[in-house]
Amino acid sequence: MIENLSSYAYLIGWKIVRTLPEPLAYGLFKRIADRTSRKEGKSYQRLRENLRRVQPHLSESELRQLSTIGMRSYLRYWCDAFRLPSWSHDRLTQTVSTEGEEMFRACVAEKRGVVVSLPHSGNWDHAGAYFSATGIPIISVAEKLKPERVFQAFLKYRERIGMRIYSAVENVIPALHAHLAKGEVVALVADRDLSKSGIEVRFFDGVAKMPSGPALLALRNNSYLIVAHVTYTKKGIHIEFSEPLTSNAVGEQEQIKDLIQQSARIFQEGIARTPQDWHMLQKIWIA
């Protein structure tokens, strides 16, 4: 009963937020972010401790300020999620700036398949919608959410903005291999391991685990592996692409470890530049 009530409340809220005037909607979510920060609940505390690793030189007051800005960025993502399906094609495309897009599109054009690995930064859904709207459909995998009704609504939301989404609880690897074999783009948010069998990487000042999937898929399909980093701008988002990653390691497992460590290093560089847009409210470091 409680789960049903919460799902109905969420879905009703989704519809209401989409109909509110834009300044009112985003102002509301900013107030929610600030209230959450003042209460210093578990999610805020985890975000603050993660940002402490990213910016260890900050004083406590500076860290609190950064964490509050980070919570605002996180709530901006959710307000975007409620409203994005109603955005026009021009709104989707003209609010995006990029670096390395020409190289990325050239890789896609070769029809070898492209795996894009990215962290939980900025609005990756907007990035996916942008490329879907400009001729490059995006295939991805979504983390399972509860309640189920909300999860299904989120799948439909991402499909409405042009992406093909699989649930992480399914055996999705064969399907992703098939998409890459057809020369398509598979984008995976990959800075947190959900399988408990990820690859250990050096990340900021500690050891974290990140999923092996992006590297494994790229290697077994002879596809490109590219890292993308998404950050917020005043009017929308900025997407920065790395050059395709390669490894000189011997053996598939060692190549996977090398490629995931390379990805982690690029994640780290991007997060260090714009830590306020890294929406990591969960534990990822082993110690």
The pLDDT score that the predictor gives to residue 1 is: 35
The pLDDT score that the predictor gives to residue 146 is: 61
Taking the CA atoms of the chain, what radius of gyration do you get in angstroms? 19
Q: Work out the mean pLDDT of the chain and round it to a whole number.
A: 91
Q: Is 232 left (phi over 0), alpha (psi -120 to 50) or beta?
A: beta
Q: Which of 120-129, 196-205, 260-269 has the lowest mean pLDDT?
A: 196-205
Q: Is residue 23 scored above 90 in pLDDT? A: yes
Please say whether the beta carbons of 134 and 102 come within 8 A. no
The pLDDT score that the predictor gives to residue 183 is: 98
**Residue listed under structure tokens 């969960």:** 282
The pLDDT score that the predictor gives to residue 259 is: 98
In this prediction, residues 145-170 reach a mean pLDDT of 74
In this prediction, residues 36-60 reach a mean pLDDT of 96
In this prediction, residues 69-80 reach a mean pLDDT of 95
Q: Is residue 52 scored above 80 in pLDDT? A: yes
The whole model's pTM is what?
Answer: 0.92
pLDDT band at 10 (very low <50, low <70, confident <90, very high): low
Per the model's pLDDT, the better-predicted residue between 65 and 14 turns out to be: 65
In this prediction, residues 243-248 reach a mean pLDDT of 97
- CA 186 vs CA 163, 183, 255: distances in Å: 10, 10, 19
Which residues touch 263 (CB under 8 Å, ≥6 apart)?
117, 190, 210, 214, 215, 225, 227, 245
Q: Is residue 83 scored above 80 in pLDDT? A: yes
Q: Is residue 237 scored above 90 in pLDDT? A: yes
Most confident of 16-25, 61-70, 79-88, 166-175: 61-70
Percent share of the chain, pLDDT over 70: 91
Backbone angles phi, psi at 202, to 5 degrees: -80, 125
CA 27 to chain centre: 23
Angle between helices 42-54 and 22-39 (to 10 degrees): 90
Please say whether the beta carbons of 155 and 265 come within 8 A. no
Measured CA to CA, the distance from residue 157 to residue 78 in angstroms comes to: 12
pLDDT band at 189 (very low <50, low <70, confident <90, very high): very high
pLDDT band at 3 (very low <50, low <70, confident <90, very high): very low
The pLDDT score that the predictor gives to residue 2 is: 36
**Nearest Cα to 128, choosing from 102, 100, 92?**
92
pLDDT band at 5 (very low <50, low <70, confident <90, very high): very low
